[in-house]
Amino acid sequence: MPAFPRVLVRRPPAVVILESFAQAQAIFDELPLHRAEWFWVCLWTAQHPIDVEGMIWSDVALQGPGCSAATMLLRNTKNRRREGLRVRMPAPLATVLQAKWVREAPRMLDPIVRPWPSRKTTLPNACRRAGVPIVNATALRHTCLSWVVRHIGITPAACAFAGHSSPEQMARRYAHVLPPQANEVIRALESMADPSRNDNGEGD
């Protein structure tokens, strides 16, 4: 039997993300308002485009009864989470959607944002004008989740927000942005040699 030929597969390029809120704001300012709103919803919810465009006003509560914190329903149809997860809405997104609600007085079943079929060209053009890394919708999801992981790590809450079924699934994509914790590891190892502690690293 002849040997199977070696097939060289090029590794997919790393997904570019936005490093700061200032970069995101610069893109927002370069877009027409209805496109900027799409961009903002995608960035702050980490949803896929189909779920961004599927959001309706009944999915959000901008001022819940007896509570000033806005909430939103997140879906991940790609991972079969169609019923949604209710979470608190990030303040930058709540500010934009509150202004849109007041300005447009939409019905509860109206979509929150319009479809954006030209985003593959118009979004990169806005990034170039803003002088920031060129991103697409996938990069906006990765940006949001990278910001989360940098701050709190890969936790059950982060996995639920992302719609990932397990920490391992999330780690394959976002482990590289975990906060540096090597010093904590070294301190844990050194504690084993501390005569005041037992072999479990605990006090007497």
pLDDT of residue 1: 60
Instruction: For residue range 11-35, list pLDDT tens digits in order.
Output: 555 678 999 999 999 999 999 999 9
- How deeply is 178 buried, as exposed, middle or buried, from its count of CB atoms within 10 A (0-12, 13-18, 19+)? middle
Percent share of the chain, pLDDT over 90: 56
Instruction: For residue range 136-192, list pLDDT tens digits in order.
Output: 999 999 999 999 988 888 888 988 898 887 788 788 888 777 766 556 666 777 777
Q: Which amino acid is at 92?
A: P
Return d(Cα 39, Cα 172) in angstroms, integer. Answer: 25
| 195 vs 201, higher pLDDT | 195
Radius of gyration of the chain (CA): 22
pLDDT of residue 182: 55
Please determine, for residue 198, whether its predicted confidence score (pLDDT) is greater than 60.
no
Question: Bridge partners of 71?
Answer: 61, 88
Q: How confident is residue 68, by pLDDT bands cut at 50, 70 and 90?
A: low
Please determine, for residue 66, whether its predicted confidence score (pLDDT) is greater than 50.
no
Name the residue with tokens 């995101």. 24
Closest-CA residue to 178 (of 141, 152, 139) = 152
Task: Please state the domain extents for the chain.
Answer: 21-142
